[in-house]
Structure 1
Amino acid sequence: MDSQKVSSQDIILTGDRTTGPLHLGHFVGSLKNRVVLQDVCKQFLLLADAQALTDNMGNYVKVRDNVLQVALDYLAAGIDPAKSTIFIQSLVPELSELSSYYLNLVTVARLERNPTIKDEIKLRGFERDIPAGFLTYPAAQAADITAFKATVVPVGADQIPMIEQTNEIVRRFNNSVNAEILVECRALVPENGARLPGIDGKAKMSKSLGNALALSASPDEIRQAVKMMFTDPNHLRVADPGQVEGNVVFTYLDAFDADQAAVEELKAHYRRGGLGDMVIKRRLEDILQALLAPIRERREQYAKDPAQVMAILKAGTQKARETAGQTLSDVKAAMGINYF
């Protein structure tokens, strides 16, 4: 992600569903960039517990506990609460009220056509048994974004349709009140534009799929994850030429190895033969151990004082309510329903 595309005038809104601790897929996709962006612009980080409940009703303890877990990951990765506002989605009721108004600006057919929602429905096997809250999430996300008048939203390429639908809602609302009340935003996509695949080679890294590596992973967990990584099934002997495309180890080296010239040399060697899988796996393990060790250590320190972490979230949530409350007031005034 190119932070040079963001100015001090920009407002950033980003967040994660609180369905589990963050993993390397989150890190390469956006988390490390949030650390950089907090020094460049005004940033709001949303702990999306309300969104998590759209397909986790009944798993209340899981969602609640993961609010703390995701907050620990943010802080451990370098998010500074003095620079970024970290808040809990469900404790900002202004978001729910905005969402209820936005639902009147979008049709069920349009929601069902949203490519991101279609993919997620298929992934979860909902078919027609779709929780209404899940289907209408684009309106809720529009509320999350517009409440803070965010101008930039860091997302993966798969989330671009959500940003497009947010801007549709913004335009429809502004047209309905004949005034520029809400602000359109733009997606800020990581330079590689793609998700980090799971360690098993599947397109998506996910805790639920059992193919994720948590930011809090122990040295042994990192070692075992790298050993299990998919390479080239036809690369049976060291002397055999190997395929780099679709080779998860090389995908991870592209994402995390700072010496890209060396990575390109390894790719060339692997393609012509004479380079074993264990050599590239050892290189990757060393890189991931060095990357995750300080994050894990900071996380352990924060975890010793959960009350301090919750105090950070409480202060951030109060600040978020003030901002969202002003936007809601502007919206209701434009609609003429600020009765008193």
Structure 2
Amino acid sequence: MLSGMRPTGKLHLGHYHGVLKNWVKLQHEFECFFFVADWHALTTNYDDTRGIEESVWEMVIDWLAAGVNPGSATIFIQSKVPEHAELHLLLSMITPLGWLERVPTYKDQQEKLREKDLATYGFLGYPLLQSADILMYRAGRVPVGADQVSHVEITREVARRFNHIYGREPGFEEQAEAAITKMGKKNAKLYRSLKRKYQEEGDVEALDRARALLKEQQNISMGDSERLYGYIEGGGKVILPEPQPLLTPDSKMPGLDGQKMSKSYHNTIGLREEPDAVAQKIKVMQTDPARVRRTDPGEPEKCPVWGLHKVYSDNETQEWVQQGCRSAGIGCLDCKKPVIDAIVEEQRPLHERAREYEGNPELVRSIIEEGCEQARDAARETLDEVRQAMGLAYR
């Protein structure tokens, strides 16, 4: 499983609720690669790179503070693994220009960022760089929101095209049959039975069972495993497996003005914001305009603070807010206090974890160095197969 973020500096609670809490959960369910997408930052901010380095380290500390564990996941910086650039280049040789031009976010971003000159190859090609990021680690799952599914789909198309062009290696069937034998008599018999059921009867469940069987095999190499994936599907060797989107729910974290929390709207609460600053930001939040005086009744649905209650407050507190606001039984500061307390309490363990890293930048760098080495090992393995398939493995 692979996911990444552009380095934009310190993160806010929208990132925590929308991405990081999910990462913390996924790191215990998948082999996870989480990367700092610094090259992706250049696709729109190539003209001002002064803050990238500081933003990288601040963001990594936020990840660690949120509970992303370098012992459970590989954390690395994209540009420290140059294999990403090579795979991007090689994939660009086979990717039709029209595929990139029709990615929905291509024109959307151009429209949103009209003040920037985005008539660059880097901006056009950033979905393909994303594809290289994903395919480099043969990620089976990519956590994305609904608006990013198109990026996973183009990755699937690129992988399919690559496998179609380069997957028919000389002696493919002979090598596949030899790999089946290595599985042992019992597993080989089961694999052949499942292969027959899928190819002759169209039994999709048999295909899923065969894939699960191959994942369990200890006696065959990754290359043989990919060969047998392709063999059961009736094609060639699957060099670059097609990933699937892992849909994540949209972040329900509203900003201080009721809109989605975003740096663009200047309505954020920082992931590591100090308690006094959190309290001050919420105390000055706008409320229902109808509540001019303490005695004026209000409507929670018209108040941005209510959006925060829906994230942080239990049913009993929400009921207290609903009744108290509409009857003017509570004031706006009374209403805001449970939210302040809940956010400060949520951030408390984040602050505690962050202190270890804030005071020890060398520890953060050593975590990244180790993660980069692990990522490069996996990346080299993929690139070796890609080069060999393309006839570039000179001896």
TM bracket, shorter-chain basis? 0.7 to 0.9
Runs (5+) with no aligned partner, structure 2: 168-235
User: In the alignment, is the contact (CA less than 8 A) between 1:156 and 1:194 conserved in 2?
Assistant: no
Deviation of 1:294 (Å):
2.1
- Aligned partners of 1:228 and 1:113: how far apart in 2? 44
Give the aligned residue type for 2:323: H
Q: Deviations over 1:199-234 (max 9, x none)?
A: 22333512x442222111111221132234454444
SS of 2:51's partner is: helix
Aligned length: 324
Aligned-residue CA RMSD (Å):
2.5
Give the aligned residue type for 1:269: Q
SS of 2:338's partner is: helix
SS of 2:8's partner is: coil
Aligned residue in 1 for 2:372: 317
User: In the alignment, is the contact (CA less than 8 A) between 2:156 and 2:243 conserved in 1?
Assistant: yes
User: In the alignment, is the contact (CA less than 8 A) between 2:65 and 2:351 conserved in 1?
Assistant: yes
What pairs up with 1:230-249 in 2 under 5 angstroms?
Answer: 230-236=286-292, 239-244=296-301, 247-249=303-305
1:184 to 208, 218, 242: 242
Q: Deviations over 1:68-94 (max 9, x none)?
A: 111111111111111111101001111
Deviation of 1:99 (Å):
1.1
Max Rg structure: 2
User: In the alignment, is the contact (CA less than 8 A) between 2:91 and 2:132 conserved in 1?
Assistant: yes
After superposition, the Cα gap between the structure-2 partners of 1:138 and 1:280, relative to the gap in structure 1 and judged at 3 Å, is farther
Percent identity, please: 36
User: In the alignment, is the contact (CA less than 8 A) between 1:244 and 1:270 conserved in 2?
Assistant: no
- Aligned partners of 1:295 and 1:233: how far apart in 2? 34
Q: Does 1:295 align with 2:284?
A: no
- Aligned partners of 1:31 and 1:117: how far apart in 2? 26
Deviation of 1:159 (Å):
2.0
After superposition, the Cα gap between the structure-2 partners of 1:240 and 1:144, relative to the gap in structure 1 and judged at 3 Å, is same
After superposition, the Cα gap between the structure-2 partners of 1:240 and 1:288, relative to the gap in structure 1 and judged at 3 Å, is same
2:152 to 154, 163, 181: 163
- Aligned partners of 2:149 and 2:8: how far apart in 1? 21
Aligned residue in 2 for 1:212: 268
Deviation of 1:282 (Å):
1.6
Deviation of 1:134 (Å):
2.3
Give the aligned residue type for 1:196: M
- Aligned partners of 1:14 and 1:50: how far apart in 2? 14
Aligned residue in 2 for 1:30: 19
User: In the alignment, is the contact (CA less than 8 A) between 1:201 and 1:229 conserved in 2?
Assistant: no
Deviation of 1:281 (Å):
2.0
- Aligned partners of 2:15 and 2:49: how far apart in 1? 23
TM-score norm. by structure 1 comes to 0.85
Aligned residue in 1 for 2:99: 110
TM-score norm. by structure 2 comes to 0.74
Q: Does 1:60 align with 2:49?
A: yes
Aligned residue in 2 for 1:39: 28
SS of 1:244's partner is: helix
After superposition, the Cα gap between the structure-2 partners of 1:186 and 1:227, relative to the gap in structure 1 and judged at 3 Å, is farther
Deviation of 1:57 (Å):
2.2
- Aligned partners of 1:155 and 1:267: how far apart in 2? 34
SS of 1:81's partner is: coil
Runs (5+) with no aligned partner, structure 1: 1-11
User: In the alignment, is the contact (CA less than 8 A) between 2:321 and 2:335 conserved in 1?
Assistant: no
What pairs up with 1:1-340 in 2 under 5 angstroms?
Answer: 12-126=1-115, 129-178=118-167, 179=236, 180-191=238-249, 193-194=250-251, 196-206=253-263, 208-236=264-292, 239-244=296-301, 247-257=303-313, 259=314, 261-262=315-316, 264-266=318-320, 268-269=322-323, 272-274=326-328, 276-340=331-395
User: In the alignment, is the contact (CA less than 8 A) between 2:300 and 2:326 conserved in 1?
Assistant: no
After superposition, the Cα gap between the structure-2 partners of 1:287 and 1:331, relative to the gap in structure 1 and judged at 3 Å, is same
After superposition, the Cα gap between the structure-2 partners of 1:298 and 1:170, relative to the gap in structure 1 and judged at 3 Å, is same
4+ runs deviating over 6 angstroms: none
Deviation of 1:141 (Å):
0.7
- Aligned partners of 2:242 and 2:331: how far apart in 1? 50
- Aligned partners of 2:130 and 2:91: how far apart in 1? 10
